[in-house]
Amino acid sequence: MRCWWLAALAAISLFVLPAQAQAPDAKTFVENIYKLYLGKNTPSIDLSTREGLELYFTPALADLIDKDAKEAEKQQEAPLLNGDPFVDGQDWEITDPVITVQTQDNGNGAIASANFKNFGKTINVRLALVLTPKGWRVDDVFWSEGNLRGLYKPPQ
């Protein structure tokens, strides 16, 4: 009887452990984002749907972006996020991306730095990352002049 349980546990671990191991580490998560921008005429990441937002952002940040986009649409105005947060612009021709990551918060958080050239100009974008049950997600984006969460703070 004991051998049967051990065999069953071993079989289950073959399916459960690889599923947990499939989530990319923080650096791979960010590298995969920037790979999507390489090459001429690459389409942007689709952030127009809730599902698209949740692939990249924490639920709290996705809520802010989604709520603002819906309100802007009702008002027939541009949303506060009026460009691509990962490239800090509306147009891009990304080359030479270099991604570095420093983990924080006992491995549950990280700061990623994405350095790349956009139309030949050197750009640095920093991403605050959080490890969620769905894997790494962006909790804020920092550009040379501001940050993504800052767009949604009421004026003071």
For residue 155, being part of any structural domain is answered with no
In a domain, 113, yes or no: yes
Q: Examine the pLDDT at 12 and tell me if it is beyond 60.
A: no
What's the confidence (pLDDT) of residue 8? 36
Q: How far is 47 from 49, CA to CA, in rounded Å?
A: 6
Residue 154 lies in a domain: no
Give how many domains the chain has, as a whole number: 1
Q: Which of 74, 77, 54 is nearest to 64 (CA)?
A: 54
The answer to the question of residue 75 being in a domain is yes
- Do the Cβ atoms of 148 and 93 come closer than 8 Å? no
Helix (H) or strand (E) holding 142: strand 135-143
Domain for residue 49, yes or no? yes
Domain span including residue 41? 24-146
- 122 is a domain residue: yes
pLDDT (tens digit per residue) in 22-81: 568 999 999 999 999 997 777 878 899 999 999 999 999 999 999 999 999 999 999 999
CATH of the domain at 103: 3.10.450.50
Q: Residue 115 domain-assigned?
A: yes
Q: Is residue 18 part of a domain?
A: no
Half-sphere exposure of 76 (CA within 13 A, CB side): 0
pLDDT in tens, 139-151: 999 999 999 999 9
